[in-house]
Amino acid sequence: MTRRPLIHKSPMPGLGLSMGITLTMLSLVVLLPIGALLWKGATFGLSGIWETVNRERVWAALFLSFRLSLIAALFNLVFGLLLAWVLVRYRFPGRRILDAAVDLPFALPTAVAGIALTTIYAPNGMFGALAKEIGWKIAYTQSGIFLALVFVGLPFVTRTVQPVIEEIDREVEEASATLGASRVHTLRHVILPMLAPAALTGFALSLARAVGEYGSVIFIAGNIPLVTEIAPLLIVIQLEEFNYDAAAAIGISMLLISFAMLLLINLIQVWSRRRIGYV
Amino acid sequence: MSDIRFAAATEEPAAVRRLLIGLAVAGLATLVAAPLLVVFAEALAQGWLAAVTALGNRDAQSAIRLTLLIAGISVPLNAAFGIAAAWFITKFDFRGKAVLITLIDLPFSVSPVVAGLCIVLMFGTNSLVGGWLVASGHPIVFALPGIVLATMFVTFPFVARELIPVMIEQGRAEEEAALTLGASGWRTFRTVTLPNIRWALLYGVLLCNARAMGEFGAVAVVSGKIRGQTATMPITIEMLYNEYLSVAAFSLAAVLTLLALVTLLLKTALEIRHADQLSATHRH
């Protein structure tokens, strides 16, 4: 058996040019800077990173970031599925506007979202005042961070699940109903498994976005060390103090935890695809 | 009675339908519509004149110019990258294609703050390259090139992601026909490929531009926040807000919000009018 060539011969022009531009820009903009971070990490080794990260304030920030991101992504998973279902299956006035509104968190700058959400949910704000009546403080607490993370991750699940719902063959549902399944049973055992892989993809994207989010969170968070200080903010604080080693150590830990989580989600996805029996 | 309507077996009961629609509307109203309205309400809290005056301020003007300049540099560069990468990936067969696509998507799973940190570590005064560049009078970090690099990092995948699925779907037959008929490579690209991908390209550029103009986390790390020099619109919004200059902060925010709304409008128009020429996930 002959070895597969690295690049197959092709009559298409522009191989050198397109490959050159692609690899050069990818290296310059993405790979070299990430390499610089990893190199920095390599110079002080795992034990050095551990020494920096193993402090109460850093642990608190990492734990807070990943815990709230997970909760927000779970919320977005449920609400995103609901939104996708409503937008594809139901016809009602204003559906187009609703559909377009889902994408606003993608288009609105995070700093703008941050100050707007803070203004609304602060104790003297529109909704913040209402919440205060029942003794619930939203802005400057972990509830506020949760809200901002839900905002930035809102579109992902809806946008990955919507095309899948559109593709579902109605006959499958009819068959299920003919065989005596209730609507709830059909949704739970026929529809939901079909949506699971796409929903998981959306969940992973939403989670990744939430973990790294900075702009919309810092305004509403209050930024109290140990309580409402997120990991990206801690990196910024270290950088402002020109403490590059600590910033790099926290940055690398965030990268490692994020990649581990994404890997886990990918494995779950492979498993769920195999279980449902289609690729 | 003629108005009895039996519920279809593949539909939820009307009450459930109404409840779900209600939840969707209520959720989007509190999370999305309310912030949108608040931006304009706060900007106009002291009338039109105050808002316009705030925008005419020297720092605000320089922030607007800087943001336009940064988008003007980074968006075309990323568009060129997107076209080149999509051409390379869809027109040739090579080993490691999946790895390449994963690497292009990498910026989506890296925190913008970490992206900024990477650029500081690579080009900051303490680094090998950065030290030399600063010594020769070309600082990257705390200057325009650093902000452009940070912006390009976070918007890197946008155009390529839109083009690759469309170009895979369209295949290579049309280009091969043009080449067989004697067209040059460049002419084939310009007269055959480009017209086929123009709407997808525009779609990617729109999203790329919205993100480029609004990027905060990555830029905050590399800009140094020098008023009138390296403070972009989002950075200026942060500084004004922290100084309790609410009208000024929200006036600038309103400009960016208008940009976001125009982006959404154009994006929706593209989805309605040119759905067949966009990546399949955008077809409704």
**Residue A276 Cα to chain centre, angstroms:** 25
Residues ≥6 apart with Cβ < 8 Å to A246: A52, A238
Any B CB within 8 A of A217 CB: no
Reported as half-sphere exposure (CB side, CA atoms, 13 A), residue B49 has a value of 0
Domain extent listing, chain B = 16-45, 48-282
Nearest by CB to B24, from A18, A35, A86: name it: A86
- Rounded to a whole number of angstroms, the distance from the CA of A169 to the nearest CA of chain B is 11
| Paired tokens of A192 | 């939901």
Q: Per-residue pLDDT tens for B19-64?
A: 999 999 999 999 999 999 999 999 999 999 999 999 999 999 999 9
Instruction: Determine the average pLDDT of the residues in B113-136.
Output: 88
Q: Which amino acid is at A176?
A: S
Residues ≥6 apart with Cβ < 8 Å to B115: A33, B107, B150, B153, B154, B217, B218, B221
Q: Per the CB < 8 Å rule, is A116 touching B38?
A: yes
Residues ≥6 apart with Cβ < 8 Å to A74: A203
Secondary structure class of A257 (helix, strand, coil):
helix
- Rounded to a whole number of angstroms, the distance from the CA of A7 to the nearest CA of chain B is 4
Range B48-282 has CATH code 1.10.3720.10:
yes
Instruction: Determine the average pLDDT of the residues in B101-117.
Output: 92
Tell whether the model's pLDDT for residue A279 goes beyond 60: no
What residue in A sits closest to B88 (Cα-Cα)?
A: A18
Residues ≥6 apart with Cβ < 8 Å to B149: A29, A33, B119, B123, B140, B222
Any B CB within 8 A of A43 CB: no
Contacts of B234 in chain A (CB under 8 A): 109-112, 215
State ipTM. 0.91
Q: Which domains does chain A have, with CATH numbers?
A: 62-230 (1.10.3720.10)
Secondary structure class of A123 (helix, strand, coil):
coil
Tell whether the model's pLDDT for residue A200 goes beyond 60: yes
CB A221 within 8 A of CB A233: yes
Q: Per-residue pLDDT tens for A69-120?
A: 999 999 999 999 999 999 999 999 999 899 999 999 999 999 999 999 999 9
Q: Per-residue pLDDT tens for B202-223?
A: 999 999 999 999 999 999 999 9
CA distance A106 to A100: 11
Tell whether the model's pLDDT for residue B1 goes beyond 60: no
Q: Per-residue pLDDT tens for B226-248?
A: 888 899 999 999 999 999 999 99
Nearest by CB to A154, from B31, B34, B104: name it: B31
**Residue A229 Cα to chain centre, angstroms:** 19
Nearest by CB to A235, from B113, B235, B284: name it: B113
Tell whether the model's pLDDT for residue B164 goes beyond 90: yes
